[in-house]
């Protein structure tokens, strides 16, 4: 009975909650996590353990990471040249240094440094687009900084997890082995796309009845995830790199991007966020002193990004633009949840810190885009 109720509730919620989020003008995932908390074991006890839901949530998680890489616009990055990339690397380096100091001051271990270094391309891109800032030098600087932060943090988390689980040894060779395998796949795909362009065009057709584009995307994701498991690497890195390879080979993805987003965010990704809410340790957050600790972590996460954004002064941006960049880069979404969940699973952080990271994602994802729009009004072309 509990299994049936869990499946029914989550299925209905995945459809209804985005409608409510649109009316409330908040990101859908905020309501999805809150719903998971409400019906989970710490409040109403309406949903319980369900292997089906857990599988769908894990699949949604991998899709989320795949789309994070898939949405990278490499053509735009190449047009910008080395300058914005160098600036983005400098922003990330300062972020990492400040995050390390903040983690130590808060009494956390070094893994929290990576938690605080995360950002969210998934929030940065739509916010830049809706304000019209995406086509400006500032928008490009913010976008590249967010992309580098996502990728480098994910690589850092993967290496840290390997060392934490197996120590410094042969297992670390799994990472360069994965990179070599991905490079080989990248070269092969590029050559095939060059030799048989007419066959690959079908992947991006809007009316393909067999949906070969979605099949090819998922096949690539599963291959990379399987390689990650085989080499002892976290699956989230394999999924992310699969999306990155697809974006790098196929610059003009036609209707495929819209289809994949609909396929993923229409059902599977919401289940992941509801499951995150169900695992949220509400009792731990409500314990005496826990709210203060969570507030300190949120303040540190905001301050780290705001101070690191000061690097953009070197590019000639105004104080207002630098402030706006720091605010938007402080938004966190899926990656911080993924990093915190991984850290808790490996015993690198406690479940209380994981819950604080989820709360951090809820607060910053709701506030940062709104504050950015207030600081940088919509640009009229």
pLDDT for res 296: 92
- Asked whether residue 62 is domain-assigned, the answer is no
pLDDT for res 245: 86
- Asked whether residue 14 is domain-assigned, the answer is no
Structure tokens at 218: 């998922």
- Asked whether residue 138 is domain-assigned, the answer is yes
> Beta-strand (E) ranges in 165-220?
none
Over residues 212-219, mean pLDDT: 84
Least confident of 44-53, 142-151, 210-219, 343-352: 44-53
- Asked whether residue 60 is domain-assigned, the answer is no
Nearest CA to 322 out of 333, 304, 302, 308 is that of 308
pLDDT for res 84: 76
Start-to-end Cα distance in the chain: 57
CATH code for position 325: 1.20.1530.20
pLDDT for res 113: 93
> How many CB atoms sit inside 10 A of residue 181's CB?
18
Structure tokens at 305: 């990004």
Query: What is this structure's pTM?
Result: 0.79
- Asked whether residue 119 is domain-assigned, the answer is yes
Could you tell me the sign of the dihedral formed by the alpha carbons of 141, 360, 14, 370, in that order? Answer: negative
Q: How far is CA 257 from the centre of its chain?
A: 17
Q: DSSP for 38-84, please give it.
A: HHSTTTT------HHHHHHHHHHHHHHHHHHHHT--HHHHHHH-HHH
Q: pLDDT-based confidence at 324, cuts 50/70/90? A: very high
- Asked whether residue 230 is domain-assigned, the answer is yes
Q: pLDDT-based confidence at 268, cuts 50/70/90? A: confident
Highest mean pLDDT among 86-90, 141-145, 274-278: 86-90
Residue of higher predicted confidence among 290 and 293:
293
Cβ atoms of 300 and 102 closer than 8 Å: yes
Q: Each residue of 146-200: pLDDT tens digit?
A: 888 888 898 888 888 888 877 777 778 888 888 898 888 888 888 887 787 777 7
Over residues 213-230, mean pLDDT: 88
Structure tokens at 79: 């047009």
Q: Each residue of 4-22: pLDDT tens digit?
A: 778 888 888 888 888 888 8
**Measured between alpha carbons, how far is residue 321 from residues 39, 82, 188, 317 in Å?**
41, 21, 42, 6
Phi, psi for 249 (deg, rounded to 5): -80, -45
Phi-psi region of 126 (alpha: psi -120 to 50; beta: other; left: phi over 0): alpha
Residue with structure tokens 């780290």?
304
Structure tokens at 284: 């731990």
- Asked whether residue 356 is domain-assigned, the answer is yes
Tell me the C-alpha distance between 7 and 200, whole Å: 38
> How many CB atoms sit inside 10 A of residue 124's CB?
27
Tell me the C-alpha distance between 103 and 100, whole Å: 5
Over residues 223-245, mean pLDDT: 86
Q: DSSP for 80-106, please give it.
A: H-HHHHHHHHHHHHHHHHHHHHHHHHT
For residue 96, pLDDT over 90 is answered with: yes
Tell me the C-alpha distance between 222 and 262, whole Å: 19
Q: Helix and strand tally (H, E) in the chain? A: 19, 0
Please compute Rg for the chain using Cα positions.
Answer: 20
pLDDT for res 329: 93
For residue 380, pLDDT over 70 is answered with: no
Count of structural domains within the chain = 1
Residue of higher predicted confidence among 48 and 85:
85
For residue 320, pLDDT over 80 is answered with: yes
Average pLDDT, the chain: 83
Highest mean pLDDT among 72-81, 121-130, 331-340: 331-340
Over residues 302-314, mean pLDDT: 94
Structure tokens at 25: 């003008």
pLDDT for res 369: 85
**Measured between alpha carbons, how far is residue 378 from residues 75, 328, 373 in Å?**
25, 15, 7
DSSP 250: -
Residue 187 makes CB contacts below 8 A (sequence gap 6+) with none
Which residue segment(s) compose the domain that 118 sits in? 72-263+289-375
pLDDT for res 377: 66
pLDDT for res 1: 46
Over residues 82-94, mean pLDDT: 87
Over residues 16-29, mean pLDDT: 82
For residue 381, pLDDT over 60 is answered with: no
Q: DSSP for 110-140, please give it.
A: THHHHHHH---HHHHHHHHHHHTGGGSHHHH
For residue 33, pLDDT over 90 is answered with: no
**Measured between alpha carbons, how far is residue 204 from residues 34, 75, 209, 266 in Å?**
36, 17, 12, 19
Q: Each residue of 46-79: pLDDT tens digit?
A: 777 778 888 888 898 888 888 877 777 677 667 7
- Asked whether residue 242 is domain-assigned, the answer is yes
Residue with structure tokens 């810190």?
353
Q: State the greatest distance between any 2 C-alpha atoms of the chain, in Å, as a whole number.
A: 64
């Amino acid at each position: 009975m509990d299994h049936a109720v869990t499946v029914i509730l989550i299925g209905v919620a995945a459809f209804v909650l985005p409608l409510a989020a649109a009316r409330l003008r908040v990101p859908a995932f905020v309501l999805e996590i809150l719903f998971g908390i409400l019906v989970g074991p710490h409040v109403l006890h309406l949903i319980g353990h369900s292997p089906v839901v857990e599988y769908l949530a894990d699949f949604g998680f991998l899709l989320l990471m795949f789309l994070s890489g898939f949405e990278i616009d490499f053509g735009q990055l190449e047009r910008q040249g080395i300058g914005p990339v160098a600036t983005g690397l400098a922003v990330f380096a300062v972020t990492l240094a400040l995050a390390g100091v903040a983690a130590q001051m808060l009494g956390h271990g070094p893994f929290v440094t990576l938690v605080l270094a995360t950002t969210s391309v998934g929030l940065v891109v739509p916010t830049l687009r809706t304000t019209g800032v995406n086509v400006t030098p500032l928008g490009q600087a913010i976008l590249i900084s967010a992309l580098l932060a996502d990728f480098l943090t994910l690589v850092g988390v993967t290496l840290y997890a390997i060392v934490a689980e197996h120590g410094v040894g042969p297992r670390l060779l799994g990472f360069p082995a994965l990179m070599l395998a991905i490079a080989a796949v990248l070269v092969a795909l590029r050559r095939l796309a060059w030799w048989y362009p007419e066959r690959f065009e079908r992947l991006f057709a809007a009316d393909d009845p067999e949906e070969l584009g979605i099949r090819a995307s998922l096949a690539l994701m599963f291959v990379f995830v399987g390689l990650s498991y085989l080499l002892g690497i976290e699956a989230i890195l394999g999924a992310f790199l699969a999306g990155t390879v697809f974006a790098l080979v196929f610059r003009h993805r036609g209707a495929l991007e819209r289809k994949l987003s609909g396929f993923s965010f229409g059902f599977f990704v919401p289940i992941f966020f509801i499951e995150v809410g169900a695992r949220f340790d509400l009792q731990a957050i409500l314990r005496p002193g826990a709210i203060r600790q969570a507030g300190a972590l949120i303040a540190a996460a905001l301050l780290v990004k705001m101070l690191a954004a000061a690097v953009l002064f070197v590019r000639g941006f105004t104080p207002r633009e630098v402030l706006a960049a720091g605010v938007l880069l402080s938004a966190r979404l899926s990656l911080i949840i993924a990093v915190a969940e991984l850290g808790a699973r490996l015993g690198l952080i406690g479940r209380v810190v994981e819950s604080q990271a989820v709360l951090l994602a809820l607060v910053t994802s709701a506030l940062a885009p709104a504050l950015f729009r207030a600081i940088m009004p919509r640009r009229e072309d």
